[in-house]
Chains A and B, each alone.
Chain A
Amino acid sequence: MAGRRPLSTCWTLFLSLVILLGCFIIPGVSVKHENFKKCSQSGFCKRNRAYADDVSAKGASWSSPYELDSSSIQFKDGQLQGTILKSISAEEKVKLPLVVSFLESGVARVVIDEEKRINGDIELRHNSRARKERYNESEKWVIVGGLELSKSATVESETEAGVTKVLYGPENAYQAVIRHAPFDVEFKRDGQTHVQLNNKGYLNMEHWRPKVDAPEGDDEQKPEQEDEGTWWEETFGGNTDSKPRGPESVGLDITFPGYNHVFGIPEHADSMSLRETRGGSGNHDEPYRLYNADVFEYELNSPMTLYGAIPLMQAHRAGSTVGVFWLNAAETWIDIVKTTSTANPLSLGVGSKMDTQSHWFSEAGQIDLFVFLGPTPQEISKKYGELTGYTQLPQHFAIAYHQCRWNYITDEDVKDVDRNFDKYQIPYDVIWLDLEYLDDRKYFVWDPLTFPNPIGMEEQLDDTERKLVVLIDPHIKNKEKYAISEELQSKNLATLNKDGEIYEGWCWPGSSHWVDCFNPEARKWWKSLFKYEKFKGTLSNVFIWNDMNEPSVFNGPETTMPKDNLHHGNWEHRDIHNVNGITLVNATYDGLLERKKGELRRPFILTRSYYAGAQRMSAMWTGDNQATWEHLAMSLPMVLNNGISGFPFAGADVGGFFHNPSKDLLTRWYQTGIWYPFFRAHAHIDTRRREPYLISEPHRSIIAQAIRLRYQLLPAWYTAFHEASVNGTPIVRPQFYAHPSDEAGFAIDDQLYLGSTGILTKPVVSEGTTTAEIYIADDEKYYDYFDYTVYQGGGKRHTVPAPLEKVPILMQGGHVIPRKDRPRRSSGLMKWDPYTLVVVLDKNSEADGTLYVDDGETFDYERGAYIHRRFHYQDSALSSEDIGTQGPKTADYQKAMANVRVERVVVVDPPKEWQEKTIVTVIEDGAKIASTASIEYYDQQGGKAPYAVVKNPNVSIGKNWRIEF
């Protein structure tokens, strides 16, 4: 509210004061808790928690009713099959088929289903047309590879009775120890147990049962009977879920012995290191919830569900990382409890070790669990990526700066913003259109009054290689004479309600229908809508934003669809809810691949809802945050957590979506936002305009500097994206990922490393702060990015100056950082600019770095059209070596890039002897004779390292070369 022009009367002054106070109070407290279920309001959550409590209370006297029938066990081709019997009474046992697959990658997969439901041998209530099986098609949307069964896995013959041991993994160093009665599994690596299933006995497969109406007058519950209160119809917030299959949840406890930290299971606005959820100081009372939902004004430090879900959890301790991936698309909750088991009860702390127990339960579907035994965070990323896919290598523009607002209101407005960025010489690549570009909120139709000439607007953007992203959501306005709506209905491509009629709900356009992308016909149709001739007014520089795909339904239970809605194949919405979002993204991706015959381009899609696998097709953002320092701070753990969970192309709305940020907050947010892999500013329609050029000095220049810093480092960012696209590593990495043995750094989630560049930054996220306390784990020297001040000393925090105009960044010794220093209007115009290489020497006077470059647009890189270099400094020489593989398009690409050179090499902290040096020798592949380049040595005072600059070595970026100092 600051900065508003003077008000004329006392009354308005008073009024605005009231509004002002209102603004201070509103953020953070306004999430509507009553709109979202607590565990106690969700039948299966309540039941599974109660089950766990009951088991714990009974202690040793209790035994799990699940038993693996020894006679049923078969092992063949890396796969163990058998039947688990669940005793539900003295005489009655329920058959639960078990399949444990040992994969070539060293990952183990445990699947438990229910025979009766598989065979359709059950009755549904309410004449439901829903499927009878437990949902078994998540794999279709999520898993893309890595399922080859191990050829070497074997059953160990010499074991005690009632135990089956399978040796698997690299060198068969992993073991799965399967105890038959009660059923439990231990996963061992090198003889040590890392993951235990059903160790606590919380395994719970709610078998099918008919509803037996209690006889008249028999209201009293017999003590041994189960509480049926939540088995059948459930009502919440005025909506009743018919639950035609009755109770069908699955639950399992997974223990990580000796592990103190667990990370992952986004999306939550919480610390990266997950907290305990069974109460106590600093802990949560509610389990972490995964049920994709449009949570309005979400609160921080909460296990409440948000827009996306990735049920991947990794446990970490010094020297070891393991993980589990719970492949289930239904509503899921996870309880976490940490217990201390002391080796010597008299010496607490010494020798005591922490176990982390997690308890997972989903409302429906199978138990389908992947177990990763690490042992490094990188291995988890890699193996998880093999299964669910790696991050898409995005078009180059997508990693530059995005300018968004709800809304740029006319095509002239867009063109004006575009011109202003150039006027103030601030680079940007993409401008976005939210909802209001549409005619009457009808997707694929431009508002003819406000956007009469979209093509003209897109052409102006294209003049400087800029792009446009427009919003396309899954809800289709229910209106006659709207072709898309009519096709959706006439072709039966929409989601149905429980009675099999087209489902109607409310979203932005009012009454709407939802495209059902589980239907192959619907996907085909949706795909066709993006063709240029179909989506009139779009050019090849237009990309898509899929919002509200949880799906958000304004008048639905928990702002989403009723669980008994029906999708293609008669799966209930309950079964597929969490993968719903990515089915839309999937169809949109296919639509963008080829909008015109022969024009194959990498799609760019932003999605709000996601599940494991979304990384193959899209970027995500953390939804509707608020312009507060607390939300700014929370953006870092959220982005980091997404990164280690396989979906690193993540960001938060820079500036905060709701409310108006102060100039300082906006500036700090830009300085933070440049470290989000997805870097976009966005603002709510009720906020003041805040495009960076509108902010008065000095803030304007400081923001411009931050954005230009992002652009300067784009070569490093693109290289990090490439790395993520081939091995799943996060693009920005938390402390534990970079230093997996440094215990003190495990919980740190407010500083980050950029890819493998050794760039370490801790953005300022609190008001009035002018220093950053950066934690350094190792003994390497770290250098200030700007003035090369030296910080050294592992295991402690170092105070780095960070006045408003400075982003606190350090460079770890031992890296070569590729940059492009020339500012341009957009990243597309930097294509031909020369590189600067910053060589930061380590203790042994060595340095290493990589660079990946391609056309940033097409799929030609798949046929070799790229440059992939390794820069290595050793023995006073810097060399560039090719680490790519040749393909049919390599030569052409290299030729096109022949004139792109290195303009400058900066060596940080060179030996003193270099003072005398004036020239260096440059040897480029193919050159007949070696040439020279001049070098200048600069000494510095006051704790700043000296540096040397090689001027214009004139070597091509795509060639092998060597510079001898």
Chain B
Amino acid sequence: MILPSVLLVGLAASAVAKERPRGVGPEFAKFYKDEPFTCISHPSIQLPPSSVNDDYCDCPDGSDEPGTAACAHLSPNTALSAGDRPGSEDWEVTLALPGFYCKNKGHRPAYVPFQRVNDGICDYGLCCDGSDEWARVGGVQCEDRCKEIGKEWRRDEEKRAKSMNVALKRKGEMLDAAGRQRVEIEENIRRLGDEIRGLEVKVVGMEGELEELEKRERGKVVAGKKGGKVNVLAGVARGRVEELRGALLEVRKGRDEARSRVRELEEILATFKVEYNPNFNDEGVKRAVRSWEEYAARGVSVDNEARDRDLDEIAKPDDDSSGVNWELWENESDACDADAVAQLAAYLPPSLVSFIEDKVVAVRSFLEDNGVLAKKDGTASETKAVTEARDALNAARKSVDDMKSQMQGHKDDLETDYGQDSIFRALKGVCIQKDAGEYTYEHCFLDQTRQIPKKGGSTARMGSFVRIGSVTVDELNESGEIVPEERVAIEYAKGQTCWNGPARSTTVVLQCGEENEILKIAEDEKCVYSMLVTTPAVCSGENPPPNKDEL
């Protein structure tokens, strides 16, 4: 804290010699002591003292007008013409002063951008003493409000400092939690390793047992009810047919459901075609309508009554009047062993044979491939003992696999970037929400972002966690200049695909705060969102600095 005292001394000295011109901050006072005045960045330009604050821009750096807006046009945002550019054409034009200095006695001094000086608006946000409107243009009078504003600010500052303390404390707790979680995971990995090793030994033993059992069982297969091969085959076939019939019923049910869903969708689309707005520039909608029209024009009917009747017939349980009379077969003597299979087929209605073979199998495998039906091993009959042994073995193998993948998960987790000191490990899965307009928005740290409509309708995932990164945001410095600032940001991508647009994605930009809280949501472009979220996790001791004097 040496600097301010030096500044103070300097200030005192200059105050004796000469009062600072309007709008000059103490750090620039020294430039206004001497006569004639020289432009700060262009010492070759000397001006009479009357040129300072005469509301006319003489210096290419604007330093002769610290208290007016006369040089406000010296900015990269203005294309200057020769006549309004002070000095020679090839001189660089950059303002030497950060703005109009408001003393704000009773509060903190601050700089107001020159373009706001004497524009008829009291900019109390920056200039609580109202000194920026000294010329009272249009009769505006800005009273000094520093007392109240300052008081309020100090109160806020105190709150801020307290809040920062809390935030830092919470951050500490998070770091602790993150550390603990890491240790836990490492512990888990160790434990899992041990368990896996143990279980693997057990699996080897079980494999041996099963093999032994199977050996014993083999050869017993033919010892059926009547003992004949045909009878056995008939039994097997019967089981198989029953099974296929069951599958057929299941498939038909699935088909009926799908059919009614298709009907529902077609109705939705037909209404959509009637009601959509052809003037709305939505390529997606237009494409959808066109495709629907083509689809509708094809006129594919999903109903086929004849086929349905066939299926009804097939689906009836077998007895002596319909399907196969299994009793007959199971009690048949073994006389015509050789062509039993062919004869079996002869007893089946042809439609059953072809249909079962061609369709059901195909449909079933299709459904299995798509996870609609569970896969079944089409094994023949086994003894209970073998089945049990095999099941036990499979279960054991599965738990080994599960544990291995669990362990891999833990290992991956350890490799994952959880930010500095892995702090976000502590926030993983923590969800926060915010109401904004028609939606409630949700952010689950390192998991996903969601948009939940208030008026009803389905929730849209706005992205799944990708990585912790950073973004650059434009911040204003004290003199109102844009300065880029790096912020921690969490990226979420591959959310639900937008109607006629990309898959939703969200960038969550973090800033220091006491609570985990969503401040703001914006849709920067179609289905690309950004969220501004506060969290103690990104607080650092310095930014913003806690006001130690007041604590």
Q: Is the CB of A296 within 8 A of B55?
A: no
Given A688-B525, A786-B82, A787-B82, also A823-B73 (CB < 8 A): yes
Q: Is the CB of A829 within 8 A of B79?
A: no
Cβ-based interface call for A508 (8 A): yes
Write out, one digit per residue, whether chain A residues 792-816 have a CB within 8 A of any chain B CB (1) or not (0).
0000000000000111000000000
Q: Is the CB of B137 within 8 A of A688?
A: no
Chain B residues whose C-beta falls within 8 Å of the C-beta of A4 in the assembled complex: 502
Q: Is the CB of A832 within 8 A of B138?
A: yes
Chain A residues whose C-beta falls within 8 Å of the C-beta of B83 in the assembled complex: 836, 838, 904, 906, 908, 947, 949
Chain A residues whose C-beta falls within 8 Å of the C-beta of B523 in the assembled complex: 409
Stretch at the interface among A78-86, A274-282, A421-429, A869-877: A421-429
Cβ-based interface call for B115 (8 A): yes
Q: Is the CB of A658 within 8 A of B78?
A: no
Q: Is the CB of B283 within 8 A of A836?
A: no
Cβ-based interface call for B255 (8 A): no
Within 8 A of B (CB), among A481-515: 506, 508, 510
Within 8 A of A (CB), among B20-40: none
Given A688-B524, A832-B137, also A786-B80 (CB < 8 A): yes
Q: Is the CB of A686 within 8 A of B524?
A: no
Stretch at the interface among A152-160, A528-536, A700-708: A700-708
Q: Is the CB of A425 within 8 A of B115?
A: yes
Q: Is the CB of B281 within 8 A of A829?
A: no
Q: Is the CB of A823 within 8 A of B500?
A: no
Residue of A nearest to B282 (CB): A686
The interface centre, meaning the residue of B72, B78, B436, B493 with most chain A CB atoms within 10 A of its CB, is: B78
Complex: A773 Cα to B437 Cα, angstroms: 51
Stretch at the interface among B169-177, B271-279, B389-397: B271-279
Chain B residues whose C-beta falls within 8 Å of the C-beta of A173 in the assembled complex: none
Within 8 A of B (CB), among A411-427: 412-413, 416, 423-426
Cβ-based interface call for B76 (8 A): yes
Q: Is the CB of A686 within 8 A of B438?
A: no
Cβ-based interface call for A750 (8 A): no
Cβ-based interface call for A831 (8 A): yes
Q: Is the CB of A425 within 8 A of B480?
A: yes
Q: Is the CB of A689 within 8 A of B525?
A: yes
Q: Is the CB of A903 within 8 A of B120?
A: no
Q: Is the CB of A822 within 8 A of B115?
A: yes
Q: Is the CB of B525 within 8 A of A822?
A: no
Interface residue count for B (Cβ, 8 Å)?
57
From B84, B436, B480, B502, contact of A410 by CB (8 A):
B436
Residue of B nearest to A688 (CB): B525
Chain A residues whose C-beta falls within 8 Å of the C-beta of B454 in the assembled complex: 449
Complex: A788 Cα to B413 Cα, angstroms: 67
B465 to chain A, nearest CB (A): 14
Write out, one digit per residue, whether chain B residues 391-431 have a CB within 8 A of any chain A CB (1) or not (0).
00000000000000000000000000000000000000000
From B77, B115, B501, B505, contact of A825 by CB (8 A):
B115
Q: Is the CB of B281 within 8 A of A686?
A: yes
Cβ-based interface call for B119 (8 A): yes
Write out, one digit per residue, whether chain B residues 442-457 have a CB within 8 A of any chain A CB (1) or not (0).
0000000000001100
Q: Is the CB of B84 within 8 A of A821?
A: yes
Cβ-based interface call for A519 (8 A): no
Complex: A944 Cα to B83 Cα, angstroms: 12
Q: How would you classify the secondary structure of chain B's contact residues: helix, strand, loop or mixed?
A: loop
Complex: A425 Cα to B74 Cα, angstroms: 12
From A296, A830, A903, contact of B279 by CB (8 A):
A296
A587 to chain B, nearest CB (A): 24
Complex: A416 Cα to B523 Cα, angstroms: 13
A566 to chain B, nearest CB (A): 25
Complex: A328 Cα to B437 Cα, angstroms: 47
Given A832-B118, A952-B56, also A423-B493 (CB < 8 A): no
Q: Is the CB of A903 within 8 A of B70?
A: yes
Q: Is the CB of A708 within 8 A of B119?
A: no
Cβ-based interface call for A880 (8 A): no
Write out, one digit per residue, whether chain A residues 288-302 have a CB within 8 A of any chain B CB (1) or not (0).
000000101100000
Cβ-based interface call for A951 (8 A): yes
Complex: A940 Cα to B88 Cα, angstroms: 10
Chain A residues whose C-beta falls within 8 Å of the C-beta of B76 in the assembled complex: 701, 704
Chain B residues whose C-beta falls within 8 Å of the C-beta of A834 in the assembled complex: 55
Given A823-B77, A823-B115, A952-B54, also A684-B438 (CB < 8 A): no
Cβ-based interface call for B363 (8 A): no
Residue of B nearest to A704 (CB): B77
Chain A residues whose C-beta falls within 8 Å of the C-beta of B432 in the assembled complex: none
Complex: A116 Cα to B44 Cα, angstroms: 90
B70 to chain A, nearest CB (A): 7
Q: Is the CB of A297 within 8 A of B84?
A: no
Q: Is the CB of A831 within 8 A of B138?
A: yes
Within 8 A of B (CB), among A400-446: 409-410, 412-413, 416, 423-426
Complex: A870 Cα to B482 Cα, angstroms: 42
Given A903-B56, A904-B83, also A554-B278 (CB < 8 A): yes
Chain B residues whose C-beta falls within 8 Å of the C-beta of A423 in the assembled complex: 474, 476, 482
Complex: A917 Cα to B283 Cα, angstroms: 67
B402 to chain A, nearest CB (A): 29
Complex: A426 Cα to B80 Cα, angstroms: 16
Cβ-based interface call for A899 (8 A): yes
Given A686-B500, A829-B120, also A449-B79 (CB < 8 A): no
Cβ-based interface call for B116 (8 A): yes
Cβ-based interface call for A231 (8 A): no
Residue of A nearest to B140 (CB): A832
Q: Is the CB of A508 within 8 A of B526?
A: no
Q: Is the CB of B121 within 8 A of A785?
A: no
Given A22-B283, A686-B282, A688-B524, also A424-B118 (CB < 8 A): no
From B75, B79, B119, B500, contact of A786 by CB (8 A):
B79
Write out, one digit per residue, whether chain B residues 243-281 have a CB within 8 A of any chain A CB (1) or not (0).
000000000000000000000000000000001011101
Chain B residues whose C-beta falls within 8 Å of the C-beta of A595 in the assembled complex: none
Complex: A687 Cα to B524 Cα, angstroms: 10
A813 to chain B, nearest CB (A): 15
Chain A residues whose C-beta falls within 8 Å of the C-beta of B72 in the assembled complex: 822-823
Q: Is the CB of B437 within 8 A of A825?
A: no
Given A554-B278, A951-B56, also A426-B77 (CB < 8 A): yes
B475 to chain A, nearest CB (A): 9
Cβ-based interface call for B385 (8 A): no
Cβ-based interface call for B522 (8 A): yes
Cβ-based interface call for A932 (8 A): no
Q: Is the CB of A508 within 8 A of B84?
A: no
Q: Is the CB of A449 within 8 A of B480?
A: no
Within 8 A of A (CB), among B494-542: 494, 500-503, 505, 520, 522-526
Cβ-based interface call for B130 (8 A): no
Supplied contacts A450-B437, A822-B73, A823-B72, 17 more A-B pairs, CB within 8 Å: A294-B279, A425-B75, A449-B438, A559-B279, A658-B281, A686-B281, A686-B500, A708-B78, A709-B79, A822-B72, A830-B119, A832-B119, A833-B69, A899-B137, A903-B55, A903-B56, A951-B56
The 8 lowest CB-CB distance pairs between A and B, nearest first, are A906-B83, A832-B137, A688-B525, A450-B437, A704-B77, A829-B119, A705-B79, A786-B81
> 22 A-B Cβ contacts within 8 A?
A297-B281, A409-B523, A423-B476, A423-B482, A424-B474, A425-B480, A447-B437, A686-B526, A705-B79, A708-B78, A785-B81, A786-B79, A786-B80, A787-B81, A787-B89, A788-B82, A822-B69, A825-B116, A825-B121, A832-B137, A906-B84, A940-B89
Residues of A participating in the B interface, judged by any CB pair closer than 8 Å: 4-5, 8, 12, 16, 22, 26, 32, 294, 296-297, 409-410, 412-413, 416, 423-426, 447, 449-450, 463-464, 506, 508, 510, 552, 554, 559, 624, 658, 684, 686-689, 701, 704-706, 708-709, 785-788, 805-807, 821-825, 829-834, 836, 838, 896, 899, 903-904, 906, 908, 938, 940, 944, 947, 949, 951-952
Residues of B participating in the A interface, judged by any CB pair closer than 8 Å: 54-56, 58, 69-70, 72-73, 75-84, 89, 113, 115-116, 118-121, 137-138, 275, 277-279, 281-283, 436-438, 454-455, 474, 476, 480, 482, 493-494, 500-503, 505, 520, 522-526
